[in-house]
Amino acid sequence: MSNHLLEVNNLKTSFFIPAGEVKAVDDVSFTLDKGEVLGIVGESGSGKSVTAYSIMQILSKPGEIVGGSVKFDNQELVGMSEAQLRKIRGAKISIIFQDPMTSLNPVYTVGNQIDEAIKLHTNLKGDQVHKKTIEILTQVGVNDPEKRAKQYPFEFSGGMLQRVMIAMALVCEPDILIADEPTTALDVTIQAQIMELMRELQKKLGMSIILITHDLGVVADMCDKIQVMYAGKIVERGTAKEIFYNPKHEYTKGLLKSIPSTQNKKKLIPIQGNPIDLLNIPKGCAFSPRCEQCMKICLEQYPAVKVFSETQQASCWMNVFKELKGSGTVE
């Protein structure tokens, strides 16, 4: 028995395409406790969303979990029957997606879609369902909810739809909310509003959140802990403080350098190159072809996990190199 709400161990998810096996998530382990906010950061194609879909077991073909386990509340989700999973999806673990404009069914009213979630997971009937829908819409800040519930998704703005998505995800009071790039498709002022709303609801309802984003700025003031993903692997993890003030992986450092700042007019330094081709992962560190500090060993061997504190770990040869340099073994 573990005390963690969610425990992911050595999760491996692959996509089997004609060109070969794409290891989208490769040996990922982490835990999430009750009320905790975990940020998963990485660029496009690093396996963040696939990790989320693997937890929910909503991968679509040709994606497949090939190994590892996902334990929620000490129940194994990998290999669980669809009927049992349906009782967890939307009720215990909910997810909101990147693009609210396409994530709601265009031919049903917003109210109908929230009603559906309530009817699936509670015993409420008729008027009570409607009352609950209006209540949750009010809670996420939708004005005139009686009227809005009768409208179709195309009559809403993107920000309002994301509020609706959040309402739909939270209406059954789940233990975990997975937010898969919830603000990426929205404009900046709306992004701030949505993040504020999520923070507020998290305080009120006390659920755990897995916040997936490629924007370190978004996770900074919300997450208790952050893990950085690259090419399907977690390359560094730590508390928000450790990641921002004391990054230990070259990739994390690169990400931090590419955050624009309003205070000083320093030139933005992007990470060179493109995300790695997952069909052709280098033998050593997957980030090595783009890394400015790349050494010979980086190309040949995957760096072992180095533990810096109870919360911070990273897999980067530079740490080993610095240690050796410090002890005088190398110049």
Nearest distance from C-beta of residue 68 to other proteins, angstroms = 20
Scan for tokens 């349906």, then name that residue.
86
Q: For other proteins, which residue of 97, 156, 230, 317 counts as binding (CB under 8 A)? A: 97
Tokens of residue 233, six digits: 């692997």
Give 174 or 247: the residue with its C-beta nearer to other proteins. 174
Give 119 or 257: the residue with its C-beta nearer to other proteins. 119
Nearest distance from C-beta of residue 87 to other proteins, angstroms = 7
Q: Which range, of 9-17, 31-39, 89-97, 233-241, touches other proteins by CB under 8 A?
A: 89-97
Distance between CA atoms of 238 and 308, rounded to whole angstroms?
Answer: 9
Q: For other proteins, which residue of 103, 202, 227, 312 counts as binding (CB under 8 A)? A: 103
Q: Which range, of 32-40, 86-94, 260-268, 286-294, touches other proteins by CB under 8 A?
A: 86-94
Nearest distance from C-beta of residue 42 to other proteins, angstroms = 20
Scan for tokens 């978004």, then name that residue.
218
Give 56 or 318: the residue with its C-beta nearer to other proteins. 56
Residues 160-189 that bind other proteins (CB under 8 A): 165, 168
Residues 6+ apart with CB under 8 A from 324: 330
Q: For other proteins, which residue of 20, 154, 279, 293 counts as binding (CB under 8 A)? A: 154
Kindly state whether residue 296 participates in binding other proteins, applying the rule CB under 8 A: no
The total of other beta-carbon atoms located within 10 Å of residue 257's CB is 14
Distance between CA atoms of 290 and 250, rounded to whole angstroms?
Answer: 10
Helix axes of 188-205 and 158-170: crossing angle, nearest 10 degrees: 20
Nearest distance from C-beta of residue 105 to other proteins, angstroms = 4
Strand 208-213 to 37-41 pairing: parallel
Q: Give the x-and-dash track for 17-36 against other proteins (CB under 8 A).
A: --------------------
Distance of CA 91 to the CA centre of its chain: 19
CA distances from 137 to 130, 179, 264 (A): 11, 18, 40
298 by Cβ neighbours in 10 Å (0-12 / 13-18 / 19+) ranks as buried
Q: Which range, of 113-121, 193-201, 231-239, 253-261, touches other proteins by CB under 8 A?
A: 113-121
Name the 3-class secondary structure at 41: strand
Please check whether residue 200 is in contact with residue 150, taking contact to mean a CB–CB distance below 8 angstroms.
Answer: no
Q: For other proteins, which residue of 102, 128, 258, 293 counts as binding (CB under 8 A)? A: 102
Residues 54-73 that bind other proteins (CB under 8 A): 56, 58, 60
Kindly state whether residue 107 participates in binding other proteins, applying the rule CB under 8 A: yes
Kindly state whether residue 81 participates in binding other proteins, applying the rule CB under 8 A: no
Q: Which range, of 23-31, 69-77, 81-89, 214-222, touches other proteins by CB under 8 A?
A: 81-89
Kindly state whether residue 104 participates in binding other proteins, applying the rule CB under 8 A: yes
Give the DSSP per-residue string, 203-218: HHH--EEEEEES-HHH
Q: Which range, of 90-98, 218-226, 264-272, 295-303, touches other proteins by CB under 8 A?
A: 90-98
Nearest distance from C-beta of residue 268 to other proteins, angstroms = 32
Q: Where are the beta strands (DSSP E) in the chain?
A: 6-17, 20-32, 37-41, 63-72, 75-76, 93-96, 176-180, 208-213, 225-230, 233-239, 306-307, 313-314
User: Which stretches of the chain bind other proteins, using CB under 8 A?
Assistant: 56, 58, 60, 82, 85-91, 94-95, 97, 99, 102-108, 116-117, 120-121, 152, 154, 165, 168
